[in-house]
Structure 1
Amino acid sequence: MLSILLLLRTRDRMTAAELAAELEVSVRTVYRDVEALHAAGVPLYGDAGHRGGYRLLGGGGPGARLTDLYAPEAEALVLAGLPAAADGLGLGGSFADARRKLRAALPPPLREHVDRLRTRFHIDVDGWYADDHAVAAPYLPQVADAVRAGLVLAVRYRRWREPTDVDRRLAPYGLVLKAGRWYLIAGPDPRTYRVDQILGLSLTDEPVVIPPEFDLATYWRDAQRDFHDRLHRGEAVVRVSPRGAARLTGAAARAVTEHGTAEPDGWIRATLPVEGPDHAYGMLLALGTEVEVLGPEELRTRIAATVTALAARYASS
């Protein structure tokens, strides 16, 4: 019932079917809860017909002020806050003000609980080996402004292939923060651009027209899947010890865990997805004696040659 009131305060009018779909309950449950709200004196009004639905009269009255938070809800808001992300977007001050207002609105016992929680949890989205200078994005606030305003950007962008520095007109569709690095999704044919590779920009007065079928979360999920599909085009067949398997990460670790076959000596036989010969060589050589490469033969021969050379070098010294 509280969720029904919250939805109607934000969407003005909703049908019983829409409420049922949003709350994942039956339409009969919505009818029952609406009757209970009526009985409680909540000014909830229902219109019949094609454009009908439920709505709150006068904002719902004093009984519909649903600003109280349960402890898990307050915890979720605190833990979801990423000050570094807000700072990067130029919203650090607004984030701090909002957090102060939220804290002041909480009843004293819950305020003390949240204060204690903030001293026990810290969220750091950056990778362990991230270079602060490499991921610095000085133009992020201006890019965020363009996203908010819906205006086209004229940018100077550095890409990996020649010519490296190019001029582009980008229609910002949205921003994504991934592992401490910001990405701009821009049209007209949606592509992904690293914000830290923008060398200069200017805001135009040309409005951005985002296709109605575009969804930022869906685009990003599909882009990640395509990236991994293109990344892991090769395979390496290995025998790996439990200790070596524990040192694997990402797709290689999942391949061992989900598809590996245990052998009598306790080792695991598995086929690992790899980016290419050089990637496989470096990854598997780093495991030392905790892995044996069975194929492809070129990779096994290359690692064997390296091991033989190392043995000879250390024997001679």
Structure 2
Amino acid sequence: MRASRLVSLLLLLQTRGRMTAHQLAEELEVSVRTIYRDVESLHEAGIPLYGDAGPAGGYQLLAGYRTRLTGLSANEAEAMFLAALPGPAAELGLGSVMAAAQLKVKAALPPELADRSGRIQERFLLDAPGWYDDGDTSPFLPAVAEAVWNQRRIRVLYRRWTEPTEVERTLAPYGIVLKTGKWYTVAESAGRTNTYRVNQILELTALEDDDSCFERPEDFDLTAYWARQVAEFRTRLIQGDALIRLSPAGRQRLAEVMAADVVKAVEATAEDDHERAGWVKATVPIESLTHAHGQFLALGAEVEVLAPEPLRERIAETAAGLAKMYGF
């Protein structure tokens, strides 16, 4: 712990220049007395570090004492800092590790690249969860991540949709995926590879016996597996088509309330509606009558469902019920 703090102290001075003992203590979350001891240790190790007293004083390294990281272009340095996600890293238990790694890299960059990477952090923020969802609360996420990294099996009590809803599984987790703020682990269990929602793990035990280690298949590609899963999931969702009539305002709002495949379908199939000026007719995919009913109601009077008839009837019944409720 102390060795790590000494490195962090050195890198802070290398990155920011002159800093007082109080500033260092606040940054490293230790006492000022601890900073004094750490500085003395760095002196004894031969680090060219000196301090000045007074209001404008502080500690700093001799000019030129820095390690330069070569081989990174400006765009590469910017991309590296843009790709770092502090929220997900913290959820994985790697928040402090990521911060330390960024500090080390920034300290090693030439000044012009360090300035550019700093601007990236100041001006770009990646927020993974959706607007109406704060993401998962996954207390076992760090333990799953550790099992993935160390290739050790875990025993879990898992909650699923079908009966029995709570089942015990021994998992060999191959990887972890973050999708719209939700964490999933791809794991082998009883010879089959499946996807498990991490926040549906109710209990977890890390196995320590000789048989708990597993070999990850050399040909397993997490990115390719996930792409197949997403494609299959979308295919399973689509259960039919609907013919709709859409107003200009409805067409503008479409992307706010509908999935991307619906928006694309409108663009691909839209034809002018000769009965209503400015309106279009289009054929769009639907998941189910219930799901489509809720989605189309979100557009209000800016959309009319022409087919299938059961969906049109459902929406008509809802509209009649609303009119009665409001006294029309």
TM normalised by structure 1 equals: 0.75
Contact kept, 8 Å, 1:237 with 1:294, in 2: the verdict is yes
Alignment of 1:1-317 (within 5 A): 67-131=70-134, 135-187=136-188, 188-204=191-207, 205=209, 206-248=212-254, 249-250=258-259, 251-264=261-274, 265-315=277-327
Change in 2 beyond 3 A, CA 1:113/1:254: same
Q: What is the DSSP-based 3-state SS (H/G/I as helix, E as strand, rest coil) of the residue aligned with 2:155?
A: strand
- Structure 2 vs 1, CA of residues 110 and 294 (structure 1 numbering), >3 Å: closer, same or farther? same
Q: Which secondary structure does the structure 1 equivalent of 2:153 belong to?
A: strand
Preserved CA contact (<8 Å) 2:237 2:287: yes
Cα distance per residue 1:183-208 (max 9 Å; x no partner): 00011311000011111111223222
Return the alpha-carbon distance in structure 1 between the equivalents of residues 144 and 193 of structure 2.
Answer: 16
Question: Aligned with 1:315: secondary structure?
Answer: coil
Which deviates more from structure 2 when the two are superposed, residues 235-244 or residues 222-231?
235-244
Residues 34-59 of structure 1 deviation map (CA, whole Å, 9 limit, x = unaligned): xxxxxxxxxxxxxxxxxxxxxxxxxx
Contact 2:69 2:110 in 1 (8 A): no
How far the C-alpha of 1:310 sits from its partner, in A, is 2.3
CA spacing shift, 1:114–1:211, aligned 2, 3 Å: closer
Aligned residues of 1:147 and 1:174 also touching (Cα < 8 A): yes
Q: Distance in 2 between matches of 1:131 and 1:163?
A: 28
Deviation at 1:154, TM superposition (A): 0.6
Contiguous gaps of at least 5 residues in structure 2: 1-67
Instruction: Flag the 1:114–1:66 CA change in 2: closer, same or farther, 3 A.
Output: closer
- Report SS of the residue matched to 1:308: helix
**CA deviation after TM superposition for structure 1 residue 170, in Å:** 0.8
Distance 1:271 1:280 in 2: 13
> d(CA) in 2 for partners of 1:105 and 1:211?
36
Note closer, same or farther for the CA distance 1:173–1:287 as it changes in structure 2 (3 Å cut): same
Is the contact between residue 86 and residue 95 of structure 2 (CA under 8 Å) also seen in structure 1? yes
Per the TM alignment, residue 126 of structure 1 is displaced from its structure 2 partner at its CA by 0.9
User: In 2, Cα distance between the equivalents of 1:167 and 1:278?
Assistant: 33
Aligned sequence identity (%): 48
Q: Distance in 2 between matches of 1:202 and 1:88?
A: 19
Aligned mates of 1:193, 1:275 — CA distance in 2:
22
- For residue 154 of structure 1, give the secondary structure of its aligned residue in structure 2: strand
Task: Provide the C-alpha distance between the structure 1 equivalents of 2:324 and 2:137, rounded to a whole number of angstroms.
Answer: 45
Structure 1 gap ranges (5+) = 1-64
**Mapped partners of 2:134, 2:76: distance in 1:** 35
1:3 aligned residue: none
Q: Secondary structure of the residue that 1:151 maps to in structure 2?
A: coil
C-alpha separation in 2, matches of 1:313 and 1:154: 52
RMSD: 1.7
Q: If the length of structure 2 is used for normalisation, what is the TM-score?
A: 0.72
Q: 1:119 aligns to what SS in structure 2? A: helix
The alpha-carbon deviation at position 66 of structure 1 amounts to: 7.2
Counterparts of 2:223 and 2:134, CA distance in 1? 27
Distance 2:327 2:157 in 1: 54
